[in-house]
Structure 1
């Protein structure tokens, strides 16, 4: 496919995404099946064009003064790819498979329009209805925080110390030019290529042997700051596919007992193969099978026994918009209310497992106070026998790096908020509470 044909295809795919409110990945897969002539390079380039357009949907619409699929793609070419009106005009020449030539109005907007007077939600490329919530957290800096969430995300890896050390993993992946993470001592980072595509890491020998796992550096930090002790009893209550479970197992050096649970069997399904590949021998998966049908509580024997309970709470995922740019435009206010309800219920379910002197780690990949400090405050109001460990003490789990992390992150009395702008990670909130002994 020519560059002009790829732009035409991007306009077509964006039109389908907006019209049907379907996930971008699903629409792109469907497009690929219907256009078998497109090679892997074409599909990667198209995917990059589409995702970059979704990253800058609000700002592109403002720049072009309309929100048609064509306007969004053209606006992105200027805002996201740095092309000027002349270069964009050359790509839209009306030839076979190319977009129609620029209108006078389009050329004028691409040549002269700016975001200088745009409201914060436009400059930050997020839904307008979230502006008040983000203003409550970031104030006048919310547009900059949102803009950072509109950038492409790198590929972050966690070195699995049960199988390798950082130096060995670096050597194995040398051809991918990894660099060390800024905060996590176990993090390696690989930059995406020009099209924003990450290398096929799951086919790398280092991955197949369990030496590395794909995990954002912010997620790694959440596990490290939870500080699971070697030999401890730990419950990962929302284990999902096992990303943090495996990080905890390595931090515990395969000692003690780590219980992995999720109330959704489909989310939990990948964990078994991942545990085997990682060489994590202290993990016991507790399946929700039977719960509800026979009234079986598969976690009953853990009540009051846990040194650490980790909640990777279901949330709106606002902190992961770099990786899921289409999700922010499908999100609706009702989803926030539903997630807040889920979070309160999970916190209530978790407290019974924490023994006196034990800790409760509450983690989200959200930037919103409603899901973060608000939930922690409400929980503490309901449970006077818990208190928050101050962030100044929590970061000690990282040693000297923790001091710098605390300065970079947004610190609240209830916990630390990591963001792409501040820490170069996905957005994560981490609060560590302890039950009075």
Structure 2
């Protein structure tokens, strides 16, 4: 592909991403993969270049762009070499007209920028949400053996974590294929450490999804005890058993939940769990480094629904914890509505609980918990709070 053809390809992909963002369709990475799957002529360098152009445009546009061309013109406005490729030659995009629309640069839609400011998120922290994330791994102590880690990594702040450059092909390494390492953001690993799961305990992962945090809890428990992985999404939860087998994690019981009827499925664990982790559904504002187009999808109404679900799940979790036990609340968000305010609301609704500030090597105190962020801590954005039942 010529340089101009790569720009045109990125524009076509951006149109798909924008349409999907408006309609709640597939994420950008899947759309990009599908686009190239139908165009086998594109080589690896072409795919990489087009992908980088598309994500460059996604990251620079705050409001959702009018079109893929408008998004790419925003990038071209600051890059004369890129602008010169709009010449209409061959498969290149048409020449730039003086009056055509150019997308607006910015961090996010204006209402979200206001919410960040109200949550005490600095401009540096907010801007870092649109940088590139490193590739973080967790050494799986259940399969560690004679571990031969890939080269190029450095230790992270977690007990078993390493950090690699984002382009590292970790999933092609022998260590990954053997289940000796798991891809997991450093912040995600740290939130699992707050749970402090121990061998022989009863631990419930109330919002397990595909089980990334469940596997970390299983390793901490050394496959001894009762570990329950729950979720309301059957498809996501079905991915956990094969992952657990690969990781050598045994004894994990999966429980499919019916929204608003969680205690019907979990009644046998009422007031018996040593620890419950609530990695609640949230806006995902802390994961924009990996999914920058997600900020175009979020609405105020969706955020309100997330916060309502979070409060309800916290109250469900409280019914599962034994006296003296602990509850850990986690969201991938920097918004106080999904963090400090949510923790305060839980304590007001549940007088038999107290906050126990998490002790981690990184993080900034925010209300009853800790906030982790890309700028300060090199992690995805998280809020984590720990509560103890009196």
- Normalised by the length of structure 1, the TM-score is 0.81
Q: Tell me if structure 1 keeps the 8 A contact 2:73–2:83.
A: no
Q: Does 1:88 align with 2:82?
A: yes
In the TM superposition, 1:216-295 aligns within 5 A as: 216-288=185-257
Q: Tell me if structure 1 keeps the 8 A contact 2:262–2:316.
A: no
Partner of 2:150: 173
From 127, 135, 138, the equivalent of 1:155 is: 135
Q: Does 1:420 align with 2:374?
A: yes
Distance in structure 2 (CA, Å) of the matches to 1:341 and 1:99? 46
The structure-2 alpha-carbon separation of the partners of 1:263 and 1:19, relative to structure 1 and needing over 3 Å to count, comes to closer
In the TM superposition, 1:223-372 aligns within 5 A as: 223-288=192-257, 297-372=264-339
Query: Displacement of 1:232 after TM fit?
Result: 1.6
Q: Does 1:98 align with 2:65?
A: no
Q: What do the CA deviations read for 1:210-253 (whole angstroms, capped 9, x no partner)?
A: 10011111000000122112322111111111111111111122
Q: What do the CA deviations read for 1:250-302 (whole angstroms, capped 9, x no partner)?
A: 112222221111122112011001111111124222344xx69x999332211
Q: What do the CA deviations read for 1:159-186 (whole angstroms, capped 9, x no partner)?
A: 1111117xx54x3312xx22222x1131
Query: Displacement of 1:103 after TM fit?
Result: 5.0
Q: Tell me if structure 2 keeps the 8 A contact 1:17–1:24.
A: yes
Bigger Cα displacement from structure 2, 95-104 vs 371-380: 95-104
Distance in structure 2 (CA, Å) of the matches to 1:303 and 1:287? 17
Distance in structure 1 (CA, Å) of the matches to 2:62 and 2:115? 18
In the TM superposition, 1:127-206 aligns within 5 A as: 127-138=109-120, 141=122, 143-164=123-144, 169=147, 171-174=148-151, 177-181=152-156, 183-193=157-167, 198-199=168-169, 201-206=170-175
Specify which structure has the bigger relative contact order, considering alpha-carbon pairs within 8 angstroms and separated by 6 or more residues: 2
Distance in structure 2 (CA, Å) of the matches to 1:365 and 1:77? 32
Distance in structure 2 (CA, Å) of the matches to 1:191 and 1:203? 15
Partner of 2:75: 76
The structure-2 alpha-carbon separation of the partners of 1:295 and 1:278, relative to structure 1 and needing over 3 Å to count, comes to closer
1:185 is paired with a residue whose SS is coil
Q: Does 1:31 align with 2:25?
A: no
Query: Displacement of 1:33 after TM fit?
Result: 4.0
Distance in structure 1 (CA, Å) of the matches to 2:202 and 2:215? 15
Structure 2: state its 5+ residue gaps. none
Partner of 1:411: 365
What is the alpha-carbon root mean square deviation over aligned residues? 2.6
Size of the alignment, in residue pairs? Answer: 383
Distance in structure 2 (CA, Å) of the matches to 1:237 and 1:295? 9
The structure-2 alpha-carbon separation of the partners of 1:296 and 1:256, relative to structure 1 and needing over 3 Å to count, comes to closer
Partner of 2:52: 48
Distance in structure 1 (CA, Å) of the matches to 2:230 and 2:98? 59
Q: What do the CA deviations read for 1:26-75 (whole angstroms, capped 9, x no partner)?
A: 4324422442322343233322221221111129x9xxxx8553342243
Distance in structure 2 (CA, Å) of the matches to 1:19 and 1:311? 32
Q: Does 1:207 align with 2:207?
A: no
Q: Does 1:433 align with 2:387?
A: yes
Structure 1: state its 5+ residue gaps. 110-117
Distance in structure 2 (CA, Å) of the matches to 1:416 and 1:36? 47
Query: Displacement of 1:377 after TM fit?
Result: 1.2
1:297 is paired with a residue whose SS is helix
1:323 is paired with a residue whose SS is coil
User: Would you tell me which structure has more helix in proportion to its own residues?
Assistant: 1
Partner of 2:5: 5
2:338 is paired with a residue whose SS is coil
- Normalised by the length of structure 2, the TM-score is 0.90
Distance in structure 2 (CA, Å) of the matches to 1:267 and 1:314? 13
